[in-house]
Structure 1
């Protein structure tokens, strides 16, 4: 226990953070789909580290909502329940509406150009997982363009779970996904650039709704 008034030296957590980054990337890349077990022994061997940093990394990913612990299986990649899907959709809607209004009202040209650049990358996406990555990058750019620091932090708090939401969406059905997503996001970007708040809000709602409908079977 530390003495009153004394600051305890910080622990080095760089290795655990690096392991978390590697495992997160593997989940996002499809190597570990929802429901897959994440075994400490196998991960430590694959990454060339001891089990301690792996255990810390899995706890970090659990806090992000990417991993869940089950007493009889250990750490597994989160499988989103119907409640998870509904809550993520409603929270994303609330955050995104504020972001869109702020972008339309205040975003400088450089931030709008950054949004357009992500759309251009979508045209070159080689597979569904790369497209999902571009989709998340697009929304990163929108939140950055809002100029609202706490809103960006709120988005970051659910970003990994929204990524998992989109991965689950392509797992259910990827029909037409590669061909439709670039045009869909180009319309979103165009509405933002035109400063048409009403149109942008409508298009973003449709965009969210399509993924939600795929996941809920509507």
Structure 2
């Protein structure tokens, strides 16, 4: 049997991926908030592309959990429900607990230095959306330092949704946010460098819980 009968023809997806990147960036920068309508006609006009790549790009973002497509409402930026937040938090917690354990058991001093550097960058940030990016980047370095490929892949699968969750958090309030986030991450770095598993797990859990409590209204935004 020839190879031609085994695989489907390849299609170039570069333009659709670029469209997805640009819309994702607009969401992460705050240009499109949760619930905002994303109209194919407008997007194709703004980006000077046909509606085909826009439609494909939106499908990419739907798979990432960033947008929701419904035939009667069109496409909107995802609004996380209480159930969404609970599921995302529980899955993130399970992944992050394993990452912390792996980092403490296996990470090199160079890995820990990379994590510390990711936290230090936060000290000089004055923009809340940039702080969210750096928060995600910090956790990227933690998962990378864990040295567990499938764990890193699992994190990548929810990464954009966690980013959206943090955007939801700052949309509620930014009071005290720029001050508390660098402090929390300094504590995380200290625990990892001390290779204190119990303390690190407790601090990472508290870090996650604070944001969840703000989003769910359990505590007032600080």
Q: Normalising by structure 1, what TM-score? A: 0.96
Q: After superposition, what is the alpha-carbon deviation per residue over 1:101-137, rounded to whole angstroms, capped at 9, x for unaligned?
A: 0000101122211111111110111211000000000
Q: Find the aligned partners of 1:202 and 1:161 in 2 and give their Cα distance.
A: 23
What is the alpha-carbon distance in structure 2 between the residues aligned to residue 19 and residue 194 of structure 1? 43
Deviations 1:29-86 (A, max 9, x none): 0000000011111111111111110000000100110000123321000000000000
State the secondary structure of the residue aligned to 1:35: coil
Residue of structure 1 in register with 2:61 after alignment = 61
- Which whole-Å CA distance do the structure 1 matches of 2:17 and 2:89 have between them? 28
Q: Which residue of structure 1 aligns with residue 92 of structure 2?
A: 92
Give the aligned partner of residue 20 of structure 1.
20
Deviates more, 1:83-92 or 1:104-113: 104-113
2:68 is paired with a residue of what secondary structure? Answer: strand
Q: Distance in 2 between matches of 1:87 and 1:133?
A: 22
* CA drift at 1:214: 0.4
Instruction: Give the Å deviation of 1:4.
Output: 7.1
Q: Distance in 2 between matches of 1:71 and 1:7?
A: 31
| Cα distance in 2 between the residues matched to 1:39 and 1:28 | 18
Give the number of aligned pairs: 217
Q: Which secondary structure does the structure 2 equivalent of 1:76 belong to? A: strand
Shift of 1:216: 1.0
Q: Secondary structure at the match of 2:195?
A: coil
Residue 155, structure 1, aligned to residue 155, structure 2 = yes
Q: Normalising by structure 2, what TM-score? A: 0.95
The residue number in structure 2 matching 1:119 is: 119
Aligned counterpart, 2:140 = 140
State the Cα RMSD in Å.
Answer: 1.3
Distance in 2 between the 1:70 and 1:196 partners?
47
Mapping of residues 100-111 of structure 1, within 5 Å? 100-111=100-111
Residues 3/148 of structure 1: CA separation in 2 closer, same or farther (3 Å cut): closer
- Provide structure 2 residue ranges, at least 5 long, that are not aligned to the other structure: none
Task: Provide the C-alpha distance between the structure 2 equivalents of 1:6 and 1:70, rounded to a whole number of angstroms.
Answer: 34
Q: Gaps (5+ residues) in structure 1? A: none
| Cα drift, residue 191 of structure 1 | 0.7
Equivalent residue number for residue 186 of structure 1: 186
Q: Aligned partners of 1:58, 1:65: CA distance in 2, in Å?
A: 10
Give the equivalent residue in structure 1 for 2:75: 75
Q: Secondary structure at the match of 1:115?
A: helix
2:42 maps to 1:42: yes
